[in-house]
Amino acid sequence: MADDPAAVFALLDDEYARSLLAATSHEPMTAPALSDECEMSLSTVYRRLEALEAVGLVDAEVVPDPDGDHRKRYEAQLDELLVSLDDGSFDVSLRTKSTTAEFADAFTDLWEGL
């Protein structure tokens, strides 16, 4: 992840990559579903997902399909991104949703669901 800050910046600058991140932040989605939802071609989706996966912004899991066709489902791994400049070099660190954050969200949902 922290190997190549420039790759992360480039992806976040990319409109397609950003919409893929946003779409997969709620629930894991397959590439064809993302292609439909984000209105972009399947090859664009695959290209961006590959780049996003390479820097760790997106994680893929293989879900067994009843048809025997194993599909990958992608999920955004980004909750907060910290960019630091120290001693002449940029560093990015990714913060994924923590257990504490999940508890806090559950507590909020519980209370607001009153």
Should residue 112 be labelled a site residue for another protein when binding is judged by CB under 8 A?
yes
Smallest distance from another protein to CB 76, Å: 16
Cα gap 27→103, rounded to integer Å: 18
Should residue 85 be labelled a site residue for another protein when binding is judged by CB under 8 A?
no
- Closer residue to another protein (CB): 64 or 111: 111
Say which residue the tokens 């989706």 belong to: 45
Which tokens in the block code for residue 61? 């899991």
Should residue 114 be labelled a site residue for another protein when binding is judged by CB under 8 A?
yes
- Closer residue to another protein (CB): 86 or 109: 109
Should residue 22 be labelled a site residue for another protein when binding is judged by CB under 8 A?
no
Cα Rg of the chain (Å, integer): 16
Residue 52: count other Cβ atoms within 10 Å of its Cβ: 27
Should residue 100 be labelled a site residue for another protein when binding is judged by CB under 8 A?
yes
Say which residue the tokens 């599909």 belong to: 71
**What φ, ψ does residue 15 adopt, rounded to 5°?**
-60, -40
Should residue 107 be labelled a site residue for another protein when binding is judged by CB under 8 A?
yes
Query: Could you list the residues that contact another protein (CB under 8 A)?
Result: 100-101, 103-105, 107-108, 111-112, 114
